[in-house]
Amino acid sequence: MKNLLSPIEIGSMKLPNRVIMAPLTRCRSDKEGVPNDLMRIYYQQRASAGLIISEATNISPMGVGYMNTPGIWTNDQINGWKPITEAVHSSGGKMFLQLWHTGRSSHPDFHNGQPTVSASAINSGGKVHTYEGLKDKETPRALELSEIKDTIKDYVTASLNAIEAGFDGVEIHGANGYLIDQFICSGSNQRTDDYGGSIENRCRFGLEVVEAISNAISSDRTAIRLSPSGTFNGMSDDTPVETFSYFVDKLNDYNLAYLHVMEPYAPPGKTYIPQKNYLQDREVTKYFRNIYKGSLITNSGFTIDEANAYISNGIVDMVAFGKLLISNPDLVNRIEKSSDLNDWDVKTFYSGGENGYIDYPFLDE
* Residues paired with residue 223 on neighbouring β-strands, in sequence order: 171, 258
Q: Are 235 and 177 in contact (CB under 8 A)?
A: yes
| DSSP per-residue codes, 293-343 | -S-EEEESS--HHHHHHHHHTTS-SEEEESHHHHH-TTHHHHHHTT---PP
In angstroms, the CA 93 to CA 195 distance is 38
Contacts of 49 by beta carbon, 8 Å cutoff, 6+ apart: 17, 19, 20, 21, 93, 325, 331, 332
In angstroms, the CA 356 to CA 300 distance is 20
In angstroms, the CA 27 to CA 356 distance is 12
**DSSP structure class, residue 101:** -
SS (H, E, C) 18-49: CEEECCCCCCCCCCCCCCCHHHHHHHHHCCCC
178 is catalytic: yes
* Catalytic residue from among 43, 66, 155, 178: 178
Active site residues: 178
